Structure 1
Amino acid sequence: MMTMPMPSIDSVKVAVRVRPFSQREKNSRSKCVISMLSKTTTTIQDPKNPEHVKTFTFDLAYWSHSGFQKDKDGVLISADPSSNFAGQRDVFHDLGRGILDNAWQGYNATLLAYGQTGSGKSYSMIGFGANKGIIPNVCEELFQAIKNRERNQEYQVTFSMLEIYNEQVRDLLSRTKKLGGLKVREDQQLGFYVDGLTSVPCENYAQIEKLMEQGTKIRTTASTNMNASSSRSHMVVTIQFKQVFLDRHLTKQSSINLVDLAGSERQKSSGSEGDRLREGSRVNLSLTTLGNVISALADAAMGKKVLHIPYRDSILTKLLQSALGGNSRTTLIAAISPADICYEETLSTLRYAERAKKIWNKAVVNTWKLKEPRAENNKLQMMKTFPHLLNINEDPQLTGVLKYFIRAGSCDAGKAASNAITLQGLGILDKHASFTNMDGKVTVTPHSKCNVVVNGVPITMKTKLQHLVWIWSKAKFINRKFLMEELYQHFLDGGDSHEAQEVDPFWDPVEVVHLGSAHIWLQSLAYCMKFEEQVEFLNCDGLEEAMLHIHITSCSPTGQVHGEEDVVIDPLELLGKRIDFQIHIVQCLGIKWLKEDAKRGIQIGYRIYDLPNTLYTKPVWKIVNPQIEETVQFAALNVSQEFLNYLQTNALIVDLWGLQEGCAELRYSSQDFMVTGEGHIMVDTRKTATGMGTDQTTSNQISELYLKLLKLEQETELLRNINRALREENLFLKESLEKIGSVQEAHKPSSTLKIIEMAAQLPSAKEINQMCAQRASYDGELAKALKVYYQSMNMARGQFLRLRHYKPPVFDIIAYPEQIKAR
């Protein structure tokens, strides 16, 4: 049950940070127009009118422009005690610790970094090198505090990371890019959320650091005049922090949102062109929508009448709805440039922050009492202790909703309200049946002419009911039927009818449960590249069951992992050679099967290519985030084309199996596999029984044709690029001709001199004819090249198909068996 404490009404906390000059600003000999006379005021001077000075007052003002030096570890610190330089630790001490304090209290906390391109937003949020930003410092301090936790408290931390690029949401913790991006949906209680976003449970800071490194590499960046590595997307890091107080029966949960916004920019100063220009317009549009939301909220806080707050106008504002005017304590850090050439952008950022300062949020401590879960647990325990009936409905969602407990003694069931169990439905009489519960044994007795069915069999007399009586599937029953017949025949022959439990056809043992599967694509192995990923185990309903941390690495026969220098450019180089690789299952995270019942266990199984049986890990019991740490090395002694095709087009299917008390653990025998001299499992061991020499020749010819096809495809791509360039040149010539015509019509010659000058500026007729002739020759050359290409392609394909379907003549095999053996 969630408690509803009084909301804490706070304004958005705003801080401003000014960075040092960039190399571009140094080259332009820029002057500093920013000054910070105190820790709360920021003054900006108009470079065109030095007397025009504007002062802004915020919660904090950080001077990081000058007065610093590097220590031995590379961390920027104050050059002398009198310097007012603010480093990364100072910013974290004021802003990051405040976010952590809010999270520990149970408030949702949000930190936004806003500013123009290249103003230092990502540096403040993420950092660089030894100068860690707010996000890694917050995560590290959080786990440091958890280490000093009390025994009667439990903590859960989950980490997610996304980017909003061109109004599409991308999961930065998943290397598979979904077409069109992830969908943003709305829930009545949760508000806006990203459907399908990966949320990884983390036990320490090292895991988060690795996830952040992975996400930062995938994040979209591009170079502009303002910044050599400009972030072209909004990045949102979300940390879900849950505290469980066992002694107080209380749960607190807070959501920490750390947002690095894309840089706002002006096209003229950033030098954006083409894709960067279109991309920048979408980024600016998203930030404009954010500005409209902030302005509307600021007007509402000032008492003005606001008809509509445009949260739904962009993906960014949808996800930030709770942070702006909602249930969150929000901080905005405005990053600005000190240079005079960025005066307009800096002034715009300061005004943006000034409006944000006027917003008021109503934050509430997110607290749940554990009374309701305890009552639910008592109810579940009661269901296990007391026999009960469950309803069945045509609608699956309504099945099992009604529960009727059969208490000790005798009770009647039927339509009449006087019955202890009242049932409604067609064919149910006033007094339909009677239940008796004596000494833990339950019986049912149907009343006269009342239809009662137990396990599919109609009954007419008193019948004992048993717990967990299931109907077997047809396949299982047929299998057991033969065992029953054998047992009965053995009894007729005078044998003992009491069989051991393992061979008793009436004994139904507890079986392992298939929880879900994960798919790991093996294309990286074809290039001898290292693969490290966290993938989802999806159950039969397509829902996440757990997370798998797995490494697949190419290695030497001795087990030494290959480096970047061993990467293969063309997988065909591996044909006929030996390759070794390791599959290392590191950890399984957030297993729902174990969250439901801590006494359960899990095993992980997989089978690659032509292995006869499945490999299983050792069973792990009673651990929600178990460390598996099992590595198996495989070797393909003579790589075939089929195995290469398998690596490039198939995925390794890893299955998650659930274990429960009484079930047999999954095992495999090493004798089922062929192994090398080093003891590694062999794959790609299929051999052809007859015609091996002919097949080898055919395989070599197929490989040669495959290489020719690849070469022809590369030539095709080159011709396409030439064609594209010629089309662009053709378009340019057409525009030039149109320009000549428009200029001649718009400007009539007033004198011979003007005509000569205009004619000198425009291409001559001879030049235009030469350009057209050149274009025609290009078109002719392209047509000839395409004709030769398609002729070569048809010949190669014909040879390829003939070799594919070639079979050695039967009389050759019969007449020359010695030659076949020699081959």
Structure 2
Amino acid sequence: MAENVRVAVRVRPFNTREKERNAVLIIDMKGNTTEIKDPAAPKGEKPRTFTFDFSYWSHDGFKEEQDGYLSPSGSRYADQRKVFNDLGQSVLDNAWKGYNCSLFAYGQTGSGKSYSMTGYGNNKGIVPICCEELFKGIEEKKKTAQKGEEFQVQVSMLEIYNEQVRDLLTSKKAPKGGLKVRQHPSKGFYVESLITCPVNSYADIDNKYQEGARNRTVAATQMNATSSRAHTIVGIYFTQKTLNDAGENMTKSSILYLVDLAGSERAESTGATGDRLKEGSAINQSLSTLGNVIKALADKGSGQSGVMVPFRNSVLTKLLKNALDGNSKTIMIAALSPADINYEETLSTLRFADRAKAIKTTATVNESPTDRLIRELREENERLKKLMESGGIMPAMEGDGGTSDEEKEEMQRQMKELMERNQAEVAAMQASWEEKLQKEREQNEKALAEQKQKEEEKKVTPYFWNLNEDPSLSGMLIHFCKPGQSRIGTKNAKPPPEIQLSGLNIQMEHATVTNKDNKVSIKPTFQSAVIINGKEISKEELLHHNDRILFGSTNLFVFHHPVDYAQQLKQGKKVEAPTFEKAQEEISETALQKVGFSKVGQSGSKEDLVLQDDLVRTMPMVNQCNAMSECLNKKRFFEIALVSPQARGLKEGRTEVMVKMKNLENGNEWMWPYDKFLNRKYKMEEMYNDFINDEKDWDEPPEKDPFEESADSAVLIGSVQVFLQSLGYLIDTDEHLSITDFRGIEHGRMQVQALPCDAKWKPIEDDFVEDPYELVGKQLNFKMKIGKVGGIPSKYEKVYVSYKFYLDDTPAVSKEMSGVNMDFNFDKQFTFKPVTQQLVDYLMNDPLVIQVYGKQKTGGQKGGTALPTRELMAREKTMIHQTKQEDMKNRMAVEVATERKKFERAETKLRKIQELVNKAKKGNRTELAVKDVEDILEGSFRFKGVADAVTLAKRNEAMGKNTSSACNLQ
């Protein structure tokens, strides 16, 4: 019988960042209904409502117990146990009945998915509680079990990152391209060679999960991967073996898939549209495909016919096919942010969850006689063997005559693979469960002993523990600072260092840690990057408890000192562990200050705070791209750019964080929107990963190289803003304006004309209007003309201009020109009949933004191309620093000159007022007209000699005793 996917949503408390931003609560829940308020909506507008199977309020109404558990302080708060009782318990109950079950968590990065799924400390999530309760149930069943009855549990753990599957229960090097996803005729899609480990207790599963998390952390650091962009799937395989009435061994099996999806981000929130959206969508193909699958299944569930569901378009959707459209009872939990600053993402999550409600699955009990299954597998192998011996042609194809030798070979290869898989499955079923457990116990004993020793050592020895954006991965890596000196570096160093790290910018000999008399210091080696609490160090520094240390570009650790920690607790201090977010923020702030960006205070505008968050998020990734460019010797340099909406040709919007990539060989530059940069970064990571894994074909041809950009693609040189108020008065404009880039640096000059015309397109002369709004309802004709453009940098071989006027959807684009001084002679006629008030408002208030694009030369200066990327980058950084110093000097000179002019103008006004006073006194007047003083202050009053003094005297005499318009001179 078909059942709908059960859907729950859960809202978390404000996090530290949201509190600092004075975030406003936009989520409310009443029963199973969830409401979301648009922070930009007019006052009084009703919120949007959604109804789900469960709506969990976990925003407030809780208290922290002594053991750290967050328990309800009122009836509204949903704690971890409440969520498990509703969702996890039903998964467990169905597993006992022999159904396949799936539970997956969805939501944006940082919305609380991992907390619901795994939890932390005593706040265990659904996955650990489910495993714990499963083994409690097994122990109860064993008490009354008959002879021959057996309960088996196995566990697997995998990660999907950039469409590649990695087995997390092995530290072995993954094959290029990841593990293969295959399709079985009856079981559906599965991962080939995925390790499934037998476990006999919750402790065994917990150890396996910790092992998987450690492997995931090491791999992510080494490959420069981002855990929030990876999907994690924990598989629990539960088998119950009993005897049926016929005395046959009956097997009832179920698979529990517990899926923590990657963080979802809406492309629209970054302004991605068109080609940018297409490029950005490749960052996480599987998540976008999942959205398409959910939509298609929802349409299918609502009765639409002929709906194609794109399961095959991604690895994730292949593996979730049973969960979403097959033999499974499925539950989805959507994690929500409560803050107004995440409104768009949260609304997107609610819509996704709302569509998922319409999906239907049909679950059946997985029950079969084991002996019969073994016999059937053997029979199938015999049949396949005979087919291979006869040439591998299926009976239905005999006599076809159209099968080539290559096709026959491919069929034989596939049949051979199927035979091998069947044989492996038979061997697995025939093996004694006790044998499997014993083998696993032997492998775990050593690891458990090492872990126990490590826990004891942590109590007395200072150590580094890793900090990860995923809280469940923090603390997975421990490196002790033992008495004496410990070297930090890569495993390739000789002799191998005591603390081995891998990843971007980690040198073979990276740093030295000294533990003397329980005081720990660290000293970086020459040219190695070590950042402590956001500041890069070049000499030996003493470490303190909870210091944050970044080694290279991706190895972020916290220093733990047991003695310092104990002393602080003794003094009554509250010692809180640092968070990944705070550590990254302090690193980014220091780096941004170096390039001229200052931190926005808490009282800053919402736009400024959002911009600061974008900068903090982007800066580490820019540094990582530079590190990868250096490691791969790609001779590309990346830096952050802040681009206003006007520079992008928009009338309104917010300043956008973009990334500039510069070719250090010829000076060519390209500006990448954030989405494009992010997509390119993940492709760079793939290339870097192949490189560190010693893949011979790690490099890509230029057309596929993420560090390359086609010279044929035009880049924005700069823009010009033209104010068109004169058109409102029917007066022509003829100006030579600066072409400036996003930093305000001039890259040439442009002649722009705006010419009001009559019905025959002849320029209007001496027919201006006093009030532009007199034009409303009439006809307005004018020409926009772009004339000479000069001073464009010589690296651009072809240049063209583009602009959109008023409500135009399609830009006006000129022809391409070349040369130092170009005469575009590009004009366009505009007619508005009738003129609207909106048009006049536009003319009076909004500038026309004309953008200048250029195609860069493929050659250019090649000086220094033989130098390695490291040296070229050092030169570039020096040049940027010198340019900034020159800009600062120029700005200071301009400011000094401006202040001098202000002073001179003030002195001139004072002198004129004194002259006015002197002339008034000569005319025996004791009062001075306020109007004359105001004219002087406004710069409109001019003396023209003695005649003017006579006029002044007459004006003062006419004013009489009007003291409100006069000043006493005495």
TM-score, normalised with respect to structure 2: 0.42
- Higher RCO (CA 8 Å, separation ≥ 6 residues): 1
Normalised by the length of structure 1, the TM-score is 0.49
